[in-house]
């Protein structure tokens, strides 16, 4: 594999656009788009749609499915979600590449962290600048440049920008599954680790909400007539925590207990919210069975239990297709003077969904940054061009056949 003159034309185009690639990410990050900020999501979607129309592609908003949430009082409520944005070019080409990103952030509308600044060391500090509005800018820059390559007609591509990744993709998961099944190779634009390392194998993740219903009573006059849901929730939380260490690589994090009311009332409702992480499919089945068994047995009489949720991101192991793809990306990076390395991650993202649908993918091709999900989130400006060039070169090598996307897909299917 080597850089040919047509490849260099593509790379030069990315470099020339460097300041604009950074500037538009800053503009997007200055608009709050927390996962449940409907107005902010609409504003950012409008900006992204306008930018996407610079490409020679079909750009459409795609309605997403609704989902349900469990309130702190145990009631189940319907939740609507913003549209996804789909950008498609050459859907009938022999090789199909799927590129995904999300335009929601973890920062709600009322967050004090609302704008991008430049740190004294030159890094950009702002909400979503790394995770992942910077990544979306990198993605679009790579595609814009790739369209200059003489072999671009050999590769079709579809971009999906979703509004709900930070809350587990409840609405966009079916869209990701469909794209993963049809595509041959996936590129996703979560930020890399702070040193530029990519995420390799990823654990799977599940979110659960265990509703505990009890019986209210006066805490003084009729205490023994009640059934305390908060006390039951506490006992259940201890049992959940005790699952840690029982199977290698499986963790259970009891994140929150909600419920109860006045101090003189026996609590009649509570919700235990917890997350599980698993290294493989067998572990996912094990923890699911353990959780369901626990939820079938109230800790004392008078309580009833209702379990909601489940596994939202399947595990993404380093199988043969993933190993071959990473090696190809490492080789492409070396041509650019970029040292590509990877390591396992307990975190999850859309790459888990795509892999489960049969798509080999690299899911940390976004900017180099760190401290995501905090008000210290940062991205290095120089990495915008570097990462866009890496993705652009990957696309060039897919078009030339140096990266055999069809073979990678076949490897994935053989290990499914």
Does a cis peptide bond (omega within 30 degrees of 0) precede residue 288? no
pLDDT of residue 415: 83
**Mean pLDDT value across residues 38-62:** 97
Per DSSP, helices labelled H in 97-192 are 133-146, 173-182
pLDDT at 281 over 80: yes
pLDDT at 232 over 80: yes
Query: How many angstroms separate the CA atoms of 147 and 194, rounded?
Result: 30
Q: Which of 113, 36, 97, 111 is nearest to 67 (CA)?
A: 36
**Counting Cβ atoms within 10 Å, is residue 114 exposed (0-12), middle (13-18) or buried (19+)?**
middle
User: Which pLDDT tens digit goes with each residue over 242-277?
Assistant: 999 999 999 999 999 999 999 999 999 999 999 999
Phi and psi angles of residue 383, each rounded to the nearest 5 degrees, phi first: -75, -20
Q: Which of 303, 244, 317 is nearest to 274 (CA)?
A: 244
**Residue showing tokens 């990877």:** 342
Query: How many angstroms separate the CA atoms of 185 and 93, rounded?
Result: 13
Cβ–Cβ < 8 Å for 362, 183? no
pLDDT at 416 over 80: no
Cβ–Cβ < 8 Å for 272, 209? yes
Query: Is domain 5-200+317-415 classified as CATH 3.30.930.10?
Result: no
**Mean pLDDT value across residues 16-44:** 98
Cβ–Cβ < 8 Å for 277, 170? no
Query: How many angstroms separate the CA atoms of 370 and 24, rounded?
Result: 19
pLDDT at 304 over 80: yes
**Mean pLDDT value across residues 276-299:** 97
**Residue showing tokens 């099944």:** 181
| Three-state SS at 183 | coil
**pTM (2 d.p.):** 0.93
**Mean pLDDT value across residues 393-403:** 98
pLDDT of residue 130: 98
Phi and psi angles of residue 350, each rounded to the nearest 5 degrees, phi first: -65, -25
- Quick one: what percent of the chain has pLDDT higher than 70? 100
| Three-state SS at 359 | coil
The pair of three-digit structure tokens given for residue 244, joined into one six-digit string = 């840690």
Distance of CA 169 to the CA centre of its chain: 7
- CATH architecture of the domain 204-313 equals 2-Layer Sandwich (3.30)
Domain boundaries, the chain: 5-200+317-415, 204-313
Cα-trace Rg, the chain:
23
Average pLDDT of the chain to the nearest whole number: 96
N residues, the chain: 416
pLDDT grade for 346, boundaries at 50, 70 and 90: confident
**Mean pLDDT value across residues 312-329:** 95
pLDDT of residue 313: 94
Strand segments, DSSP code E, in 81-218 are: 84-89, 95-102, 117-118, 124-125, 155-162, 185-188, 198-202, 204-213
pLDDT of residue 310: 93
pLDDT at 179 over 80: yes
pLDDT of residue 87: 98
Query: How many angstroms separate the CA atoms of 314 and 338, rounded?
Result: 30
**Residue showing tokens 């399947």:** 314
pLDDT of residue 85: 98
Bridge partners (DSSP) listed for residue 304: 213
Query: How many angstroms separate the CA atoms of 152 and 154, rounded?
Result: 5
What is the dihedral sign for C-alpha 320, 322, 325, 326? negative
Least confident of 39-43, 74-78, 331-335: 74-78
User: Which pLDDT tens digit goes with each residue over 68-118?
Assistant: 899 999 999 999 999 999 999 999 999 999 999 999 999 999 999 999 999
pLDDT of residue 9: 98
């Amino acid at each position: 594999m080597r850089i040919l003159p047509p490849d260099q034309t593509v790379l030069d185009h990315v470099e020339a656009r460097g300041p604009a690639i950074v500037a538009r990410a800053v503009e997007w990050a200055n608009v709050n788009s927390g996962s449940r900020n409907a107005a902010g999501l609409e504003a950012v979607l409008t900006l992204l749609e306008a930018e996407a129309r610079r490409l020679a592609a079909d750009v459409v908003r795609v309605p997403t499915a609704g989902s349900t949430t469990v309130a702190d009082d145990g009631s189940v409520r319907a939740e609507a979600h913003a549209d996804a944005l789909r950008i498609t070019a050459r859907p009938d080409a022999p090789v199909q590449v799927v590129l995904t990103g999300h335009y929601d952030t973890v920062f709600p509308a009322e967050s004090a962290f609302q704008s991008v600044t430049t740190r004294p060391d030159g890094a950009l500090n702002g909400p979503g600048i790394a995770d992942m509005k910077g990544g979306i800018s990198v993605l679009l820059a790579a595609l814009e440049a790739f369209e200059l390559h003489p072999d671009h007609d050999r590769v079709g591509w579809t971009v999906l920008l979703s509004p709900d990744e930070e809350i587990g993709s409840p609405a966009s998961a079916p869209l990701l599954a469909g794209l993963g099944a049809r595509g041959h190779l996936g590129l996703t634009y979560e930020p890399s680790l702070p040193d530029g390392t990519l995420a390799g194998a990823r654990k799977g993740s599940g979110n659960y909400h265990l509703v505990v219903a009890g019986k209210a009573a006066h805490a003084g006059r009729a205490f023994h007539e009640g059934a305390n849901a908060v006390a039951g929730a506490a006992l259940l939380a201890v049992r959940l925590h005790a699952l840690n260490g029982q199977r290698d690589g499986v963790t259970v994090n009891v994140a929150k207990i909600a419920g109860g009311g006045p101090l003189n009332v026996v609590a009649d409702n509570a919700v235990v919210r917890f997350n599980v992480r698993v290294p493989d499919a067998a572990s996912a089945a094990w923890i699911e069975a353990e959780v369901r068994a626990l939820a079938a047995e109230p800790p004392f009489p008078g309580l009833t239990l209702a379990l909601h949720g489940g596994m939202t991101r399947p595990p993404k192991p380093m199988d043969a297709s993933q190993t071959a793809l990473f090696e190809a990306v490492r080789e492409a990076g070396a041509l650019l003077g970029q040292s590509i390395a990877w390591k396992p991650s307990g975190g999850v993202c859309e790459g888990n969904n795509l892999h489960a649908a049969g798509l080999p993918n690299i899911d940390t091709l976004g900017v180099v940054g760190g401290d995501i999900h905090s008000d210290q989130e940062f991205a290095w400006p120089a990495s915008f061009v570097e990462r866009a060039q890496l993705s652009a070169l990957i696309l060039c090598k897919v078009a030339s056949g140096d990266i055999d996307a069809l073979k990678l897909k076949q490897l994935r299917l053989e290990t499914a």
